[in-house]
Amino acid sequence: MTVDAATPAEPSTQSPHPATGSTGSRRAIRIRDYGILVALIAIVIALSVSTDTFLTRSNLINLLDQCTVVGLLAAGATVCILSGVFDLTSSATLAVSAIVGVEIMRLTNVPVGFGAAVAAGAVLGFVTGMIVVRSGINSFIATLATSIIYRGVAVVVTAGAIVYPLETQTENFGALTWPSVFGLTSATVMFVAVVVAIGLLISTTTFGRRVYAVGGNLEAARLSGIRVGSVHVAAYVISGVCSALAGLILASRAGSGQSTMATGAELTAIAAAVIGGTSILGGEGAIWRGVVGAFLLTLIGNGFNLLGWDTIYQQVLQGCLILFAVTTDRWLRRRSR
């Protein structure tokens, strides 16, 4: 089934980056691509100098583990934003998927429960995409309303209670918290594998080029034969799967699932994508930069804890970073014209 009609001609897709004929545009692209890495390196150096515990093995492993949930959500959010839409359902999808996983697990076993959670995330992503495409409503409003519905479904299914796996399943349910390669948790290894897979999908395939084309100029993409609605639905499905995986990580850590899991995390994910250099107007950005943005936010939180600073100011700093990223994106767009 197709989401919308398209001409049969083979679409001409655009490059992930604008033309770089002028010195100004080349400089703008370099800043957009690598500015986030400069900021990350600067913070790493500052924390390494100011604390004795930052570079310890246990702290670095913990830092990577903390980044997994936001990083997965940021990867999904980046795909959506690149295609020109927003996804405010990610945290609600996370909660519903985790609950579905636990409930199915109680009836079967842990692997089947994990698979059911991922399938639920994909289905919810598909439903969200269809709502946005078919309704024609702005994605921000449509996904905001849909997220409220999903949260309500989570409350109804659980009756507001916390759901647990069977006692015999508890140990295996926590598998994502177990040490794995180089002492990293299984959640971290899964996170890296998923991010690499999505990064390759977006940067090296025809689908990825279509995502950039649709986000860069929706009408031009439509006229060139790209099924714009199908691209948007696929982006939401990817975001839904990422949300489900993030939900499994949180549930595995807590040993349970509940309707209030990760409330507000979708905004942090979008913030990470924007801070990483993904343009909120669509068509410009990269998965790895969104993940680096998530790591930067995690790094700031870790730094506040190590330095003993009041975490109230952490939110102020994150807000300033978002404003700076959006302002920089607008300035770079003007320079690259």
Model pTM? 0.88
| Residue-wise burial string across 151-164, b where 16 or more C-beta atoms lie within 10 A, e elsewhere | bebbbebbeeeebb
The reply to whether 126 falls in a domain is: yes
Where is pLDDT greater, at 333 or 116?
116
**What span, in angstroms and rounded, lies between the C-alpha atoms of 72 and 36?**
18
The reply to whether 15 falls in a domain is: no
**27-41, 126-140, 280-294, range with the lowest pLDDT:** 27-41
pLDDT class for 325, splitting at 50, 70, 90? confident
Residue 95 has pLDDT above 60, yes or no: yes
Q: What are phi and psi of 298, to 5 degrees?
A: -65, -40
Contact 128, 238 (CB under 8 A): no
C-alpha 85: how far from chain center: 13
Tell me what pLDDT residue 3 has: 53
Tell me what pLDDT residue 83 has: 96
The reply to whether 177 falls in a domain is: yes
pLDDT class for 1, splitting at 50, 70, 90? very low
The reply to whether 3 falls in a domain is: no
Tell me what pLDDT residue 25 has: 54
Where is pLDDT greater, at 66 or 6?
66
**132-146, 184-198, 309-323, range with the lowest pLDDT:** 309-323
Residue 242 has pLDDT above 80, yes or no: yes
Summary mean pLDDT of the chain: 88
The reply to whether 8 falls in a domain is: no
**What span, in angstroms and rounded, lies between the C-alpha atoms of 33 and 271?**
17
Residue 30 has pLDDT above 90, yes or no: no
The reply to whether 9 falls in a domain is: no
Sequence-separated (6 or more) residues with CB below 8 Å from residue 18: 25, 29, 284, 336
Where is pLDDT greater, at 324 or 232?
232
Tell me what pLDDT residue 324 has: 81
Residue 22 has pLDDT above 60, yes or no: no
Tens digit of each residue's pLDDT (9 = 90 or more) over 119-138: 999 999 999 999 999 999 99
Tell me what pLDDT residue 254 has: 94
pLDDT class for 111, splitting at 50, 70, 90? very high
The reply to whether 2 falls in a domain is: no
- CATH code: domain of residue 171: 1.10.3470
Tens digit of each residue's pLDDT (9 = 90 or more) over 177-222: 999 888 899 999 999 999 999 999 999 999 999 999 999 999 999 9
Residue 327 has pLDDT above 90, yes or no: no
| Percentage of residues in the chain having pLDDT higher than 70 | 88
Task: Give the residue-averaged pLDDT of 143-150.
Answer: 97
Give bridge partners of residue 163 from the DSSP assignment. Answer: 257
H helix or E strand, kind and range, residue 185: none
Q: What total of structural domains would you count in the chain?
A: 1
pLDDT class for 337, splitting at 50, 70, 90? low
The reply to whether 185 falls in a domain is: yes
Where is pLDDT greater, at 307 or 21?
307
Q: What are phi and psi of 87, to 5 degrees?
A: -130, 105
Structural domain boundaries enclosing 273: 23-336
